[in-house]
């Protein structure tokens, strides 16, 4: 019984350390020290009685049971303490939120007055800005009066001209119509004279589409009518014979194929050309040129290009079996290649578009392997010095005068690797395959218009 009283006093002390609880040394249990941990819980140090006070088994058993109860009560108190701490934190949070709301309401009340002052100031500033416009508006009123006067004078002048016309007599409509037709004809003739010129500048590119591998060709027919805007697409430089056709540039961009052609032979390189409804390409692993009709779906002609190197013997700087380059311009169909007889330098040949027979050839002094790409404009071959970044048109050769010159016409190699560059006379543009991007370059030509009196 005495031991139970001591334990109860100890429990009361644990619950409330400030409570006055007296435990005499004779009772055996003594509080040695007490303190609080960082969480506010009570920590007590107790001196137990001597062993002979609890020597009997029955008393020892009761003591153990009481200790277990004390431990259970301590755990319950611990749980209660945790809940109390959690609720206390929640109350603190709610208090902070309430204070914040109160501060916001005060701020809104203060801002309402500030905003009124601010808006008033802004309106005043706007009025100050509008004040100088008053004289301008007055000037507009004056100008409006002048315009009204001008209108009245024009009406009077029109009436006078009408009277004069009635006195002279009506113009002959047929005569006016013939004069307009004559003017149109002269304009067309002038435009024909403007088609040819010397390359001065290359601008762009315009990216039309991103598709295919790094190497390929895409083109339109320079001799097609204005309503015929078909596009042909040939991906890769070898091991392929599938040509995809699109009805227009818009269909090409959207990927709406109109037809697919399975050629009888694989092609070599990317330097093909569509001319007057037929595809001209170099047959794989040969110097044979093929003419394939899209409308008939068959080969119309084939001919070996005598002495022409093939299969990466004389390619452009990027390789890719680009030994034989077929192209077209305002004058006709051309082949650009190299031969051993010309020491690997570029040879230009004008071809008969029906038989593929070489009509005339020009031997240049520019090494084919040093050329990045080339294209023909008005019978002049333009050669780039690289297929990579920094490429420019570096060399030109005129078949009209059989002379050459070194040029310096830069262009923007946007995607760093050009594997096809061909001129289209109808569009006055360069079609290019730029590292998996199909792009267009605009060209500026210097024109010399000849009159009938020129010899």
At the second CATH level, the architecture of 198-447 is: 6 Propeller (2.120)
Domain locations in the chain as residue ranges: 63-95+121-195, 198-447
Helices vs strands, H then E, count in the chain: 5, 22
Of residues 40 and 427, more confidence is placed in: 427
DSSP strand pairing (333-338 vs 325-328): antiparallel
Q: Reply yes or no on whether the pLDDT at 146 is more than 60.
A: no
Q: Residue 446 has what pLDDT?
A: 84
Rounded CA separation 359/388 (Å): 34
Tokens of 10: 């100890």
Statement: residue 277 has pLDDT above 80: yes
Give one DSSP letter per residue of 385-446, joined into a string.
S-SSTT-EEEEEEETTTTEEEEEEEE---TTS-EEEEEEETTTTEEEEEESSEEEEEEEEEE
- Average confidence score pLDDT of the chain: 78
pLDDT for 227: 87
pLDDT reading at 391 higher than 70: yes
Work out the pLDDT band at 152, boundaries 50, 70, 90: low
Most confident of 51-65, 83-97, 281-295: 281-295
Q: Which residue has the tokens 């014979």?
A: 241
Q: Where does the pLDDT of residue 33 fall: very low under 50, low under 70, confident under 90, or very high at 90 and above?
A: very low
What is the pLDDT, as a whole number, of residue 186?
Answer: 62
The closest of 259, 256, 292 to 273, measured between CA atoms, is 292
**How much is the average pLDDT of 112-130?**
62
């Amino acid at each position: 019984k005495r031991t139970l009283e001591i334990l109860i006093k100890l429990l009361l002390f644990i619950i409330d350390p400030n409570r006055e609880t007296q435990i005499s040394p004779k009772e055996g249990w003594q509080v040695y020290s007490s303190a609080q941990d960082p969480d506010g819980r009570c920590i007590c140090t107790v001196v137990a009685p001597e062993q002979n006070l609890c020597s009997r088994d029955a008393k020892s058993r009761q003591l153990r049971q009481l200790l277990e109860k004390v431990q259970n009560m301590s755990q319950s108190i611990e749980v209660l303490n945790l809940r109390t701490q959690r609720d206390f934190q929640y109350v603190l949070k709610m208090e902070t939120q309430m204070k914040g709301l109160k501060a916001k309401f005060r701020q809104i009340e203060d801002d309402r007055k500030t905003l009124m002052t601010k808006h008033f100031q802004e309106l005043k500033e706007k009025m100050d800005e509008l004040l100088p416009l008053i004289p301008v508006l007055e000037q507009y009123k004056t100008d409006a009066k002048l315009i009204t006067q001008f209108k009245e004078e024009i009406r009077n002048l029109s009436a006078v001209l009408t009277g004069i016309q009635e006195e002279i007599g009506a113009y002959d409509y047929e005569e006016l119509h013939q004069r307009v037709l004559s003017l149109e004809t002269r304009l067309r003739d002038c435009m024909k004279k403007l088609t040819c010129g010397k390359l001065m500048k290359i601008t762009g590119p315009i990216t039309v589409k991103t598709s295919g591998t790094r190497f390929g060709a895409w083109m339109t027919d320079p001799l097609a009518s204005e309503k015929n805007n078909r596009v042909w697409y040939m991906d890769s430089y070898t091991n392929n014979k599938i040509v995809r056709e699109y009805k227009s540039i818009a269909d090409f961009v959207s990927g709406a194929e109109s037809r697919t052609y399975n050629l009888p032979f694989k092609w070599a390189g990317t330097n093909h050309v569509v001319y007057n409804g037929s595809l001209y390409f170099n047959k794989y692993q040969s110097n044979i040129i093929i003419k394939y009709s899209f409308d008939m779906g068959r080969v119309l002609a084939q001919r070996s290009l005598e002495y022409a190197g093939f299969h990466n013997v004389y390619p452009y700087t990027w390789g890719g079996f680009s030994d034989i380059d077929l192209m077209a311009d305002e004058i006709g169909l051309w082949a650009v290649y190299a031969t051993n007889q010309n020491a690997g330098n570029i040879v230009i040949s004008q071809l008969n578009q029906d038989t593929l027979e070489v009509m005339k050839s020009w031997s240049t002094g520019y090494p084919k392997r040093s050329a990045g790409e080339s294209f023909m404009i008005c019978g002049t071959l333009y050669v780039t010095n690289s297929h990579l970044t920094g490429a420019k048109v570096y060399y030109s050769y005129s078949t009209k005068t059989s002379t050459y010159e070194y040029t310096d016409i830069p262009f923007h190699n946007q995607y760093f690797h050009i594997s096809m560059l061909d001129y289209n006379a109808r569009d006055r543009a360069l079609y290019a395959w730029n590292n998996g991007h199909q792009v267009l370059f605009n060209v500026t030509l210097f024109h010399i218009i000849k009159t009938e009196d020129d010899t």
